[in-house]
A and B are shown apart, each in its own frame.
Chain A
């Protein structure tokens, strides 16, 4: 560094003249423009804007000037440094944006590659459907009741007004635990849970009973000896067939959208009056009836789908469970879950529901090819 001039007889300090400063600025700007990466720009910055750069060194020479000249040179250098720094900042933004763009291109992956961390698991369609059915009733304030599958004959039959000679109680229809006179059967319906509910809970009772049931039936595409039911039981003051209709309609709407149910009189030991409940076809709404050009496979072009049985709980059942039939009445209904799956999800062969093939279990779990 040059020593200070005391008198106004300026010693010419070359780096501080306008020409030199302008050259430094030009060199810096050119170097910044030439840099195409953050690394290159860092080098250019070191060369033209950092502490050891010509402009920084020139700045130090200002002190050597006489006071008057010092002011001029200071202004000149300050302005120059401002231009250099602004250019650097601008270029930095450009270069890092360019670099990011390049990186984003370079880092592209094939997002269609498989990325499974776990295999495709699934809840069985029957389980899922049964849960969904229960949820409809839970939302209405009902509760879910359950019971054993190996059940007392008294609860499966006697309490439900099946006379001892009822044909359903024979070995042809019912699976008995050994010995056959031991009073224990594999439950043939979930109705014993209804009896248990009446025996165990305080009135009023609003419950659904889902579960597995057993019959000595064929095992073929449309029959299962082991299948699933959901039954409902409501016992309260002033319960009528109208309440049964209303409940079945609400259930049908929740499961299938804007559909109705209808009842056809029938006979069951545990209900009186008894009826079959049909579901209005939720696919064709009856439009396929008598229209061979537009058949409906869901309802076989009948407009209605047989769904289950229902009725007013036979007072004999309530009496066997200790309910005062002068005060209380009730209704009950029951549907096959497997059967519902069959018409709801087009199950062609019921055997698939119990043979354990993972393709069946996964079929509603999003496994399209």
Chain B
């Protein structure tokens, strides 16, 4: 809502000299969101005066234009010796003796347009005759601005005449304060904030019902009150006065015609939307009712609208003539010939209007106000304000016979404990003070011991619950006056295990050289196709959005890889070529059977069954952890060649994550999209059959389809599963200080035997004396035969209670080798 300061002064006795900025600060303290305070007209400076056109010569030019070389009387102070000034003007919408606005040399107009005497079209133009647009006053109406007031004289300052300068406060009105969508409401707030007098422009109460005026019938509960006042003899050709146009313009609307401007002016003033009908175009009684199936209306914006049975209509015998509270119909629109006007000031149910507005995607100044709550008690006064203005400005006569159908809806009273505001605010507010503050905003109070009976004013539908009054008291007393106190929370348990371990994982993989990125979780089916994920894979069970941000990615991710691959592409397009990206985030797996999540009553806690039904309807959302690597793990540097990112780094990523939660993982060859079938490690938690994910090099076709560099590597694991398996405590090592016995063995196995199988069988065979085993060499060559490889392991044995003898160590080694031989066919290499 845009509120000109001069207009607010009409109702609030604001101190002389108070600026828009001052008022803005006061309103901010009172809880209004003042977005900007604009100094309208401040971009016009210097001499700007009223001039009278004394004479002019029309001079056709070579370029086809005709200019007027004018003599303009700009007052004795500004005229030259000849008693006027010579000014060239390109417009032709004025006559001799017309009053115009002249910007004299030294003036600056909006857009930093400096006026100076200058030679043009063979004359020295000593100033400029201004159009409305050049002054920042809205659209040009066919040329320059011609002033029609009869009390103006050449040389008068045009600033006041044009109401050029004003401070305008732009206020973002919160949905609970519908009354602030009016000068009346904002002036009330301003008067309260500054503790000055407030004069309510709404003076006339709604009288008892009367059917004397234009016939009106209400057939829907969504319209409890309808006031119709008729004005005859309206001269619709008269222009709106400049002050009214300027205020409408400053308030952010466009002046249109006198009658429309008056209705808009009164709406801005009182907050009550008004509609004016051309009485000659109405057919029979006005009936307010719900729309019927199949009905249509052509609204003022010339759109044909199919109506819904929940839409509220204004109708007459011809059918719908208005979408109630939203927009009038074209059939009864005012015109330049309108002489009898029927003024409608009605009250409509907020929700009904909100729904209609939304249904038809049609938001108007009227609907905006009705949706947020309009003061029903202002209807009658607003209708009469319009009627009076039509009388004053358009020569009309107000018909004494008027219609008042329905009544102001009753406002719900509330009882509160007088101590409630103190208790909730944390600030002692004596009961007398509570009473004083609430009465000041129009609440009617009666005291019943320590209880207060409260009836809110008709313009405050937001005052409903006890806490609404607490808020009002807090707002009026100033939240800054509440003393801050840090509450004593009970002893907490710190981060939950899963939270602690997630952080540990994040930091571990970052320390290992991986860079975290965040990506949007939206994907297309094509993203999964690029990854060659088969249709029966869990990851193909996508959750679709009903209204995705982009129709090209309407699904939620089931894997983190598409987002990471997109990040790879973005980075490489910016020449960040060496990448080890990672992301941790939720993936969304659609339930096999889709179920709707119930929405139980909010009057009490839902039952356990209802809560369970809510939770089972939600798709499963495990947290994943993934990496994508490409380019060099480390680029070439002094004394070291570049180290390309390989499948090994993808494995390192998973191992770093596992170690961070206290787990070790093992690998076996896997076959899983989107990995290279020969370079895919399936990763299990050591000692279990739990597969937590995959790591390796991406399938060459996947790299190609995704547009990422060849040999891009990746890993993805179920982080929740990893953390779920993390040990809670665990024993720390019992250290033996006896010497270690080292035994190296080289085992020849078939090339296809996984090293991990050999290692594991060595561990199993070596027995409890084995402290560690490490693969330190892999040899392939003719010496050991084609299709074979030699794996060299370093075994360390140690006892907890004695120094091992050579024989003991050798026996343990032999047992390990024997176990490996049996499990994998390994033969000890002897040379």
Contacts and interface: CB of A to CB of B under 8 A. Distances in A.
A155 B598 CA distance: 10
Contacts of A266: 31, 33, 174
A151 B615 CA distance: 9
B760 interface: no
Interface size for chain A: under 10, 10 to 19, 20 to 34, or 35 or more residues?
35 or more
Interface stretch (B579-587, B686-694, B745-753, B784-792): B579-587
Contacts of B358: 167, 170
Contacts, number: 310
B177 interface: yes
Interface in A177-216: 177-184, 186, 199, 204, 206, 212, 216
Interface in B636-686: 637-639
A263 B596 contact: no
A28 B343 CA distance: 131
Nearest to B175: A267
A138 B503 CA distance: 14
B621 A275 contact: no
A215 B487 CA distance: 33
Interface string B489-513: 1111111100100010011011111
Nearest to B564: A356
A358 interface: yes
Given A124-B516, A184-B617, A319 B604 contact: yes
Interface stretch (A17-25, A35-43, A246-254, A291-299): A246-254
A265 B581 contact: no
B499 A153 contact: no
Contacts of B30: 265
B518 A247 contact: no
Interface in B27-48: 28-31, 33
Interface stretch (B5-13, B213-221, B421-429, B704-712): B421-429
A177 B588 CA distance: 11
Contacts of B174: 266-267
Contacts of B499: 134, 144, 146
Contact of B507 (A123, A149, A186, A243): A123
A118 B503 contact: no
Given A118-B512, A183-B598, A273 B484 contact: no
**Most chain A beta-carbon neighbours within 10 Å: one of B30, B468, B547, B603:** B547
A153 B424 contact: no
Interface stretch (B142-150, B472-480, B768-776): B472-480
A272 B471 contact: yes
A316 B633 CA distance: 56
B387 interface: no
B513 A118 contact: yes
A220 to B, nearest CB: 13
A158 interface: yes
Contacts of B175: 167, 267
**Among A204, A243, A250: residue with most chain B CB under 10 A:** A243
Contacts of A77: none
A321 B597 CA distance: 17
A176 B548 CA distance: 8
Given A123-B510, A206-B489, A322-B604, A358 B576 contact: yes
A94 interface: no
Contact of B605 (A141, A248, A321): A321
Interface in A54-78: none
A119 B597 contact: no
Nearest to B621: A148
Given A239-B487, A272-B468, A177 B492 contact: no
Given A138-B495, A240-B426, A322-B604, A358 B545 contact: no
Contacts of B618: 148, 150-152, 184
A175 B615 CA distance: 19
Interface in A119-167: 119-124, 126-127, 131, 134, 138, 140-144, 146, 148-155, 158-159, 161, 165, 167
B545 A175 contact: yes
Interface residues of B, number: 107
A359 B544 CA distance: 32
Contacts of B538: none
B631 to A, nearest CB: 10
Given A153-B597, A206-B489, A265-B30, A126 B518 contact: yes
A176 B547 contact: yes
Contacts of B633: 119
B485 A150 contact: no
Contacts of A285: none
B596 A175 contact: no
A171 B546 contact: yes
A322 B605 contact: yes
B485 A177 contact: no
A180 B546 CA distance: 6
Nearest to B549: A225
B732 interface: no
A356 B614 CA distance: 34
Contact of B518 (A124, A155, A177, A265): A124
A107 interface: no
Interface stretch (B127-135, B226-234, B396-404, B567-575): B567-575
Nearest to B594: A182
B31 A243 contact: no
B461 interface: no
A122 B576 CA distance: 15
A361 interface: yes
Given A144-B499, A242-B483, A316-B602, 19 more contacts: A113-B637, A126-B518, A138-B492, A140-B489, A140-B492, A143-B492, A176-B547, A241-B425, A247-B487, A262-B480, A263-B480, A264-B29, A265-B31, A267-B174, A273-B467, A312-B467, A356-B564, A358-B579, A361-B517
Interface of A: 113-114, 116-124, 126-127, 131, 134, 138, 140-144, 146, 148-155, 158-159, 161, 165, 167, 170-171, 175-184, 186, 199, 204, 206, 212, 216, 219, 225-226, 234, 236, 238-243, 245-250, 262-267, 272-276, 312, 314-316, 319-322, 329, 353-359, 361-362, 365
Query: Which 5 A/B pairs are nearest by Cβ-Cβ distance?
Result: A265-B31, A322-B605, A242-B426, A240-B426, A356-B567
